[in-house]
Structure 1
Amino acid sequence: MNYFPDRQHVRLRSLALGTYLHAAADGIEVRLHPDRASVNAAWTVHRYQSENAVMYLLLHSAAFGRYLSANNTRAPWGQRGYRVEQREFDEPEVDSIMWQVIRPGNFVLLRHFSGRLLRANGGRLFNWNRGVTVDKFENRGAMNRWVVEPIPPSQLYPGLPGPINEPLSSPQFTCLLFGREPPPVRVIRFQRANADGTFNDNEDGWSEFPFTGNSSYRLRYELTVRLDIVHFIMCVRAGRYARLTPMLANLPSGTGDNLYIVAFRSLSPGADELRYPDMEAV
């Protein structure tokens, strides 16, 4: 676990393929991608001690805050083992997001709570298959080997993506007619953190409003009006027991009906404690 200090940002690179573990834009899938500068390649370390006093590694996406998980669903055709996905940390202890680190050399193996190992799929020549799965420990080989690349922190908040073109006013049948996905409609539940970074975790501590689309830029505008503050940083909470993640990407396109946002006033003591990955660092 020495390669995974708590709250450190890291990349995981397949030793066999040279590609990186990416949180897909839908907030659900996990895949391999060569882009190391994308925030989707950054994962935040969450060291977690179980009820049995065993230390586990949890990894949540720096893009969406959702946790790296595995389940018992067979992987899609062409991939080996079982599905790996992003999910919320919504119960006090979630076995599917718990991992342990095995370090046999200049790489690590990540063993899931189920005993299976995290596995890259595909090949250098045939890269159409970019899936990530878990497979039986006894099947371990080159595709289970991962290189941990620490990401240095950014001294400043990197900011949000700019505006995006979304068909917000188009009826659903129009989107389908022209082959476009209709924009998601979700409930934004939000509150402003105290100066020290604490916030009200009870159900009555949240306000809410409906929001259409995936633009974090537009979401920030909506919150500016409702919070009556201009300079603030949005953090997403992906499940009641998840750690807060500063928002650095657009909203995931395929997740749920609710999104929880905690706003930190810029330059407050709580905001000063937030950490961001420097994705441009070599």
Structure 2
Amino acid sequence: MESFNKSHAVKLRSHIDKYLYADDDQNTVRQSRRGSSRRARWFVEFVEGKNDAIRLRSCDGKYLTATDVAFLLGMTGYKVLQTEPDEGYYWKYEWEPIQDGFQVKLRTWCGKYLRANGGTPPWRNSVTHDDPHKSSTQNWILWDVEAVEAWASESVSVLMSSRSSLSSLSDEVLGSEPVSPLSVISTASSRFSSKQSFSNKFRSGMDLFHKAKAVRLRSHHDKYLLAEDDEESVTQDRKGSSKTARWTVEFLPDSDCVIRLKSCYNKYLTASNQPFLLGMTGRKVVQSLPQRLDSSVEWEPVREGTQVKLKTRYGNFLRANGGLPPWRNSVTHDIPHRTATQDWVLWDVDIVEIQVQSPRPKSPPPQPLPHVDSLELNPSSPTPVSIKSGEFPRQESADPNVSSPPKPDGRTIYYHVTDENGVVIDEAVEGNSFTFKGNGVYELTRRLEEETGLEDIIVCNRNRFNGKLVPLRLQLPPNNASMNVIVVLPSSKGQFLP
């Protein structure tokens, strides 16, 4: 439900980057790339007495409705329409949001899901409610939720368009006494804000920065957020012991859910509005020292298990990119749209220095804090121990040359990626690496797809006798020695052994 607590209105984007669209006939619903249109906006109503159900109302004031009419005779999908509220059939307008990673599934009254269909006409761009019966259609019921702001007049227009008793909000604002549009928006805002505060109580990741004076941020790729020596750019690197991987934490006096991060060059981690690459969604993250500290240098930690996501004022997240150059080792702020990149916005927080407060007279001796990293500790700080997100206390070496925590059991996989002609770039140089615990080629392939952001790859190694690339089969060698593999695209023209 938390995805719908962010705004009065949302846009729902399907797996093919199209938006749920209320058609001009005020009856049908389809998918469209016109995400900027008001017809891609859906106003959210919370169902009175139910904590797990919402209604979605179009710009015409009609409800998104899961009907029992077959989309095509003999097929399983049923029509989804926008309809006027009909007393006695309230359940047809109710949708249960189910979180699936960073996306949601919307379940209907009959246990089916809102589904964005692909393929050829008449399925193309259609929207039905159904169950995905094939593995290739599992993503068709997943939706990205984008919070949008609506003008007051538009919100009032939608609320006034239907005098239904479905929503308690409608009862309040559509009574016998005249009300002003501002009072309508005020009533709606108070309801949303109360639900938002309830949700934020459990989502905050501020506890991971509790008493932290300086931290390191480790990405999904086991690399650290680094401030480059040009005092402007930000990248990822494995040099966790470097002073450039150290970020000083500043807490805002007027907020208990936002922090600032300052590099060793006394510049702030900043979410700029400059695109990282023209035509792409990601925007640059830089070091800056603005004359006036604004919200571009503010980050909201959002807890995700034992890790944290750092959210910007735009609703994007600090993202550690993988894949090929120029994406490799870059850092942007964005929203992950693919399942393979969902973990790219997750960070482990390593505390390298804690806030030290003067002890009060006759106070009991402080207990050792779990997991405070011994790297670059202030001499006046307590005994060097290390704090890591969600781990149990363990003693760490004070050796400043230690750049990262001990790796778990498993083998180290080093990999290179070929170009379209099957040529391996910089094969003589050590490739990127990660720790892999499994023995199956299928699991390794899925992991490499996550690491590179590529799909339908072929995992190969090089034949030591003739130098050709040979696809891996079934199982990896039983020992846990490190391996060098080469990732090949299916469209590559490289030659393989039979």
Q: Shorter-normalised TM-score: what interval?
A: 0.5 to 0.7
Q: Which residue of 1 aligns with 2:82?
A: 86
Q: Do 2:26 and 2:60's aligned partners in 1 also have CA atoms closer than 8 Å? A: yes
Q: Do 2:132 and 2:138's aligned partners in 1 also have CA atoms closer than 8 Å? A: no
Give matches, 1:1-282, under 5 Å.
Answer: 1-5=1-5, 8-15=8-15, 17-49=16-48, 55-61=52-58, 63-76=59-72, 81-91=77-87, 94-123=90-119, 129-136=124-131, 141-154=138-151, 157=153, 235-237=160-162, 239-241=164-166, 269-270=183-184
State the distance in 2 between where 1:83 and 1:270 align.
33
State the distance in 2 between where 1:59 and 1:234 align.
12
Q: Which residue of 1 aligns with 2:302?
A: none
Q: Do 2:117 and 2:123's aligned partners in 1 also have CA atoms closer than 8 Å? A: no
Q: CA deviation digits over 1:83-142, x for unaligned, max 9?
A: 11112223266111111111121211111110001101124x879821100112656601
Secondary structure at the counterpart of residue 134 of structure 1: strand
Distance 1:234 1:68, change over 3 A: closer
Q: CA deviation digits over 1:228-253, x for unaligned, max 9?
A: xxxxx993116443565xxxxxxxxx
Secondary structure at the counterpart of residue 39 of structure 2: helix
State the distance in 2 between where 1:108 and 1:80 align.
22
Q: Which amino acid aligns with 1:9?
A: A
CA RMSD of superposed structures (Å): 3.7
Could you tell me which runs of 5 or more consecutive residues in structure 2 were left unpaired when the two chains were aligned.
171-176, 190-313, 316-498
Distance 1:78 1:263, change over 3 A: farther
Q: CA deviation at 1:30?
A: 0.8
Distance 1:94 1:157, change over 3 A: closer
Number of residues paired by the alignment?
182
Q: CA deviation at 1:153?
A: 3.9
State the distance in 1 between where 2:75 and 2:37 align.
24
Q: Do 1:117 and 1:134's aligned partners in 2 also have CA atoms closer than 8 Å? A: yes
Using the size of structure 1 for normalisation, the TM-score is 0.54
Distance 1:29 1:92, change over 3 A: same
Secondary structure at the counterpart of residue 5 of structure 2: coil
Q: Which amino acid aligns with 1:33?
A: S
State the distance in 2 between where 1:134 and 1:241 align.
22
Distance 1:7 1:91, change over 3 A: farther
Q: Do 2:55 and 2:94's aligned partners in 1 also have CA atoms closer than 8 Å? A: yes
Greater relative CO, 1 or 2 (CA 8 Å, sep 6+): 1
The structure whose Rg is larger is 2
Could you tell me which runs of 5 or more consecutive residues in structure 1 were left unpaired when the two chains were aligned.
160-196, 198-215, 217-232, 245-261, 276-280
State the distance in 2 between where 1:101 and 1:57 align.
8
Q: CA deviation digits over 1:163-217, x for unaligned, max 9?
A: xxxxxxxxxxxxxxxxxxxxxxxxxxxxxxxxxx9xxxxxxxxxxxxxxxxxx9x
Distance 1:36 1:108, change over 3 A: same
Q: Do 1:122 and 1:128's aligned partners in 2 also have CA atoms closer than 8 Å? A: yes
Q: Which residue of 2 aligns with 1:177?
A: none
Q: Which amino acid aligns with 1:136?
A: D
Distance 1:108 1:79, change over 3 A: farther
Using the size of structure 2 for normalisation, the TM-score is 0.32
State the distance in 2 between where 1:96 and 1:264 align.
30
Q: Do 2:7 and 2:148's aligned partners in 1 also have CA atoms closer than 8 Å? A: no
State the distance in 2 between where 1:89 and 1:39 align.
21
